[in-house]
Structure 1
């Protein structure tokens, strides 16, 4: 303020300023520096290849969408920043890790001028997408929480490009009133989904991509699904986790407690297991079956989880309440154990260290199956065979071919594979070296008719 314009002001002083102007008016120079470092880490991790997404990461001020957090937290590339919690303290809204947001946006395969739908608002992800489809593109983002919508409207207005429309509503219904002719050019769902809403497919343009974190027997993967008519084809998979859906399609995990709450059977898909007899079985002898399959420390076996979940009948997951742990079950720390239940018996997969070493690459652990109950030995052999089959046919080959079909699609119209039924969709998994249970049954019937069945 020039002296004399307002009376009573102190003398004018000079203050130091940054040599390089910040990228966004009013932001501290440290934010620019941290944003560049975050971007370089995401690029180095191989999560972003296109120049458009790289430029979005370098430009959009992430800290403006997480004002509750320190700058270094906002620009931690591996950290999801929680922005809202419910009465119990559970996170219900967050800004996801930057590497995951970049990965999902890359999977959309966007171009300038496209219109994109997003379910689950926060602002930052929508602004990243808006930057990629600029200057003529547009983003429509929907959330059912008025607080989240208000935040997103404010932040995109203050720190955005003016290309984001924020709506209050249930994201599972899409945004039909804002859909361009022919459908959205891409759709991103930013909360865990147990099922795939028909609206997401119907409002997606032919040949374009829907990217969503899909729960498959409790295991979440961010999958890029390309639309071909009424069928969605999986193109890319990423191991991940998001906050759960709270809309009309939200689902509570069916759980059966055992041993006074020490153990829990979690059964997200299919028919819940009959837990009759399991309490007594857990107090009986334990069968242990080594699989002979080992993994190095820090080696990913994420495809084994889905392989077991989608090929083993009566699959569920065994969770341990560690505050009540009496050593009844050796559930791996930090994860639930893949399990199967049948005829009052239980088998689950765990691992033991068989070779120690100074580095993770030198250490190896072997998959071991533990089982209880009258047919526990049989279940243990079945699960061990599954692990060996994964090791022989799937390990190192990546994820399976998967297609998503509308609910009600007749079996004879589905491709050969293992079928997982949801409320609105039928998922078909085609694993290397595997036939579906239906195909195996059909082959057995043919052999029986030919006199070769046993």
Structure 2
């Protein structure tokens, strides 16, 4: 448990300074201008709920920064374990719930502010059940919602991956939102959700996180909306530590969140050997997002992992010291980076080209495979948005899944249907092998 004296010893609630009102209105207008809060209900919630009352450790100007997540609890290493998320992202996720007055909503991961925004949207007869496993977080959430809240929020101590069966309305929750990174989609979230309603959660897919709105149809969840994002990681029973393989004495790491970890045998020698470079011919502007390329590579390339560097190293040319999409096989590795090929005064004028780097005896073959993936994304996926995606219960047999790229988790099976992918299915045995590596059925 962590103590924050300013939060726990705050004076009794009175009025609020005019500066808070002004800053809140300005924050709301910025979020509306960004397109994150199109509905009048969410706009009114942003204008009304006093965000600074749920993050009293921070000055007003930070409390009403529309792009800033405010850390409210840290572990012994200083890593954030609880926060009040950036307001634009909270607004976006609430919009994805498609709420109406009178609905009952479940939230896993408390803080108070997000729950009160939701409560305002479902007022006057709606209700929010919010849960957290951290006693300190629950303590402060209960206090803040009592002092500055609507009276419509119930705060529970518990593991959010189990949902809130003791508070389940008839027919299920009208919406559920998870406010921490999720490696898996817990069965309880689907089972406790009303038919046709929406679950919004930040889902990790090979280490890439997207806030996805899923609509329930029976035992299957259908992805409807996607947003690039990042949250603190889950700490409950469903939490998962990323498997990491150190290379070159820790200069590089292979991160493999899903499937079978790659065999690093031979990679140390390969990294110190010649490096093959293969330009893809695919370029992006300086301000252009290629977030769908990350997921396309992660879900279609066999033996996918990410190559990360603890510091700049001559052994690998990582993109701006960030991690790189990679694939490993036969003591060899290929990874994706990009280089500036055209400079300019504005981001629109600058262009970078995706280039594959590869090492090891099978490096050339792996590089060709990754380059083909990038070119396929450019031809079929780029500009089309995210794929059709469904989430099925673990144990669903292959023949009952739609044709697509299968990613198995503990409680669920994810199926991605990308444009331009071969429609034919393989046999059951081959499908199982491909599913384990993130391949196609």
Q: Aligned pair 1:347/2:347, yes or no?
A: no
1:315-354 counterparts in 2 under 5 A?
315-322=304-311, 325-333=312-320, 335-354=322-341
User: Please, which of 365, 370, 393 is the counterpart of residue 378 of structure 1?
Assistant: 365
The residue aligned with 2:409 is: 422
CA distance in 1, matches of 2:267, 2:425: 29
The residue aligned with 1:364 is: 351
| 1:361 positional shift | 0.4
Q: Contact 1:308/1:338 (CA < 8 Å) preserved in 2?
A: yes
Secondary structure class of the residue paired with 1:27: coil
Q: Contact 1:418/1:437 (CA < 8 Å) preserved in 2?
A: no
The residue aligned with 1:447 is: none
Q: Aligned pair 1:270/2:240, yes or no?
A: no
| 1:238 positional shift | 0.1
Q: Contact 1:190/1:212 (CA < 8 Å) preserved in 2?
A: yes
Gaps of 5+ in 2: 1-12, 431-441
Q: Contact 1:91/1:243 (CA < 8 Å) preserved in 2?
A: yes
Secondary structure class of the residue paired with 2:28: helix
CA distance in 2, matches of 1:309, 1:440: 22
The residue aligned with 1:59 is: 48
Gaps of 5+ in 1: 1-23, 444-454
**TM-score when normalising by structure 1:** 0.91
User: Please, which of 353, 376, 390 is the counterpart of residue 389 of structure 1?
Assistant: 376
Residue 189 and residue 158 in structure 1: after superposition, are their counterparts in 2 closer, same or farther (change >3 A)? same
The residue aligned with 2:436 is: none
User: Please, which of 400, 408, 412 is the counterpart of residue 399 of structure 2?
Assistant: 412
CA distance in 2, matches of 1:151, 1:436: 52
| 1:334 positional shift | 5.2
The residue aligned with 1:29 is: 18
| 1:326 positional shift | 2.9
| 1:298 positional shift | 1.7
Residue 49 and residue 440 in structure 1: after superposition, are their counterparts in 2 closer, same or farther (change >3 A)? farther
CA distance in 2, matches of 1:252, 1:79: 26
**TM-score when normalising by structure 2:** 0.93
The residue aligned with 2:248 is: 259
| 1:315 positional shift | 0.2
CA distance in 2, matches of 1:441, 1:290: 36
| 1:333 positional shift | 1.6
The residue aligned with 1:18 is: none
Which aligned segments of 4 or more residues in structure 1 are displaced greater than 6 angstroms? 440-443
User: Please, which of 285, 307, 310 is the counterpart of residue 299 of structure 2?
Assistant: 310
Per-residue deviation, residues 269-328 of structure 1 (Å, max 9, x unmatched): 000000000000001110100000000002100000000000000000000011xx3311
CA distance in 2, matches of 1:436, 1:388: 19
CA distance in 1, matches of 2:173, 2:323: 37
The residue aligned with 2:287 is: 298
The residue aligned with 1:163 is: 152
Per-residue deviation, residues 242-268 of structure 1 (Å, max 9, x unmatched): 000000000000000001100000000
| 1:441 positional shift | 10
CA distance in 1, matches of 2:368, 2:428: 20
The residue aligned with 2:30 is: 41
Q: Contact 2:282/2:353 (CA < 8 Å) preserved in 1?
A: yes
1:186-335 counterparts in 2 under 5 A?
186-322=175-311, 325-333=312-320, 335=322
CA distance in 2, matches of 1:99, 1:161: 21
| 1:435 positional shift | 2.6
CA distance in 2, matches of 1:94, 1:291: 40
Q: Aligned pair 1:132/2:121, yes or no?
A: yes
Residue 270 and residue 442 in structure 1: after superposition, are their counterparts in 2 closer, same or farther (change >3 A)? closer
RMSD: 1.4
Residue 196 and residue 439 in structure 1: after superposition, are their counterparts in 2 closer, same or farther (change >3 A)? same
Larger Rg: 1
CA distance in 2, matches of 1:279, 1:440: 36
Per-residue deviation, residues 366-393 of structure 1 (Å, max 9, x unmatched): 0000000000000000000000000000
Q: How many residues align?
A: 418
